[in-house]
Amino acid sequence: MRKVALFDTKPYDKEYFDAVNAKQTAPYEMVYFENKLTAQTAQLAKGCEAVCAFVNDDISKEAIETLYGAGVKVLAMRCAGYSNVDFKAAFGKINVVRVPAYSPNGVAEHAMALLQTLNRKIHKAYNRTRDFNFSLVGLTGINLHGKTAGVIGTGKIGQAFIDICRGYGMRVIAYDLYPAKDKGIEYVDMDTLLKESDVISLHCPLTEQTHHILDASAFSKMKKGAFIVNTSRGALIDSEALLEALNAETIRGAGLDVYEEEANLFFEDFSGTVIKDDVLSLLVSKPNVILTSHQAFLTEEALENIAETTIENLNAYFDDQELVNEVCYQCIGGKGKVQCKEEGKKRCF
């Protein structure tokens, strides 16, 4: 039986992976670790031919070398993003596959849930009515109908969010390096998006270009009273600049599912601990900030898709089939850079 080491696993991961694996004609031996995958924990994968990792694992050059030395051949990311993988170190040694889309609608729905919780102050109303405080003072929101949503990144999740905004009767404008064709999306330059949007929602990946795409300069160009929503990656926003914009009341509120320093915090219970990250503490303390801990993906449908696609990716690898969901050092740049699969190969190397 081939062994797969799954890192950073939670009870819900185990439930769905066990269910999908049990349906396989040749099931894998799943070895579940609660630890994150790091240079220090990589040696736990000894004896496993495959490793399955998630968004906050630290898959550095050192981790890759330890995995390779331990006999690991394939790294199956059970997520879409891969900014935590050192692809240069993996190239030629360990093939990397991912789950490109597990629930774009689920993530987009969570983005709108964050926005409407903030806007209509549902979090405050929930606490008030539990205390039989039925006052409405301070709970005034705005109609989204007729307002402008600015969407940065119009891939799968961005387009699902655009559909939801259109359902609310919003005008949608968007910015993307690679505009989608035939989708009827009104693309504008970044400055126009910042200036005209009542809601700015981030749906682009984290790259060198998008790191701190919302920085102090971007906040200074925004329409006063705009909402910010980030369900993509924390480092798209300069958190200190966000705090300043919140303090200056130039923005109305922020709905965050991700945070740039989330890696050692999110998915764990620190309720009995003094959090030493002052920026996070200040953000969380604000009534107009809603923070969820990278849960936008967390739906039953997504967990099932993640487990199914990950196991299909592993089957393809071990059956010597084409790795349709492979990403590598050469092709991560995507459009414009080398596309390994266009060269007619079954896998990147």
The residue from 25, 135, 140, 209 that contacts ligand NAD (CB under 6 A) is: 209
233 tagged catalytic? yes
Choose which of 198, 257, 260, 262 interacts with ligand NAD (CB under 6 A).
257
Enumerate residues 75-104 that contact ligand NAD by CB under 6 A.
80-81, 101, 104
Residues 33, 44: Cα–Cα separation, whole Å: 9
Single out the residue of 198, 294, 313, 328 in contact with ligand NAD (rule: CB under 6 A): 294
- H/E/C letters for each residue in the chain? CCEEEECCCCHHHHHHHHHHHHCCCCCCEEEECCCCCCCCCHHHHCCCCEEEECCCCCECHHHHHHHHHCCCCEEEECCCCCCCECHHHHCCCCEEECCCCCCHHHHHHHHHHHHHHHHHCHHHHHHHHHCCCCCCCCCCCCCCCCCEEEEECCCHHHHHHHHHHHHCCCEEEEECCCCCCCCCCEECCHHHHHHHCCEEEECCCCCCCCCCCECHHHHHHCCCCEEEEECCCHHHECHHHHHHHHHCCCEEEEEECCCCCCCCCCCCCCCCCCCCCHHHHHHHHCCCEEECCCCCCCCHHHHHHHHHHHHHHHHHHHCCCCCCCEECCCCCCCCCCCCHHHHCCCCCC
Q: How far is the CB of 145 from ligand NAD (least distance, A)?
A: 25
Question: Which residues within the stretch 264-283 sit at the binding site for ligand NAD (CB under 6 A)?
Answer: none
Whether 211 is catalytic is no
Question: Which of 12, 126, 178, 270 touches ligand NAD by CB under 6 A?
Answer: 178
Residues 314-333 that bind ligand NAD (CB under 6 A): none
Q: In this structure, what token pair is assigned to residue 248? A: 């200056």
To the nearest whole angstrom, how small is the minimum distance from the Cβ of residue 187 to ligand NAD? Answer: 10
Please, what is the minimum distance in Å from the beta carbon of residue 152 to ligand NAD? 6
Q: Which of 71, 133, 141, 177 lies at the binding interface for ligand NAD (CB under 6 A)?
A: 177
Active site residue 262: yes
| Nearest CB to ligand NAD, comparing residues 42 and 327 | 327
Residue 213 CB, shortest distance to ligand NAD, in Å, is: 7
Region from 5-13, 170-178, 192-200, 317-325 binding ligand NAD, contact rule CB under 6 A:
170-178
Minimum CB distance to ligand NAD, residue 245 (Å) = 20
Among 105, 119, 148, 154, which residue interacts with ligand NAD (rule: CB under 6 A)? 154
Tokens coding 128: 């008030």
Cβ at position 233, least distance to ligand NAD in Å:
4
Task: Choose which of 105, 119, 231, 305 interacts with ligand NAD (CB under 6 A).
Answer: 231
The residue sitting closest to ligand NAD, measured at its beta carbon, is 155
Active-site residue (options: 49, 260, 262, 326): 262
Distance between CA atoms of 345 and 322, rounded to whole angstroms?
8
27 binds ligand NAD (CB under 6 A): no
The Cα–Cα gap between 83 and 77 comes to 11
Active-site residue, selected from the candidate residues 203, 233, 252, 347: 233
Nearest CA to 165 among 182, 150, 184? Answer: 150
56 near ligand NAD, judged by CB under 6 A: no
> Under rule CB under 6 A, how many of the chain's residues touch ligand NAD?
30
Measured from the CB atom, is 176 or 196 closer to ligand NAD?
Answer: 176
Neighbours of 200 (CB within 10 A): 25
CB of 85 to ligand NAD, least distance (A): 13
Contact 44, 335 (CB under 8 A): no
What single-letter amino acid sits at 217? S
Give the residues lining the site for ligand NAD (CB under 6 A).
80-81, 101, 104, 107, 152-158, 175-178, 203-205, 207, 209-210, 231-233, 257-258, 294, 296-297
Active site residues: 233, 262, 294
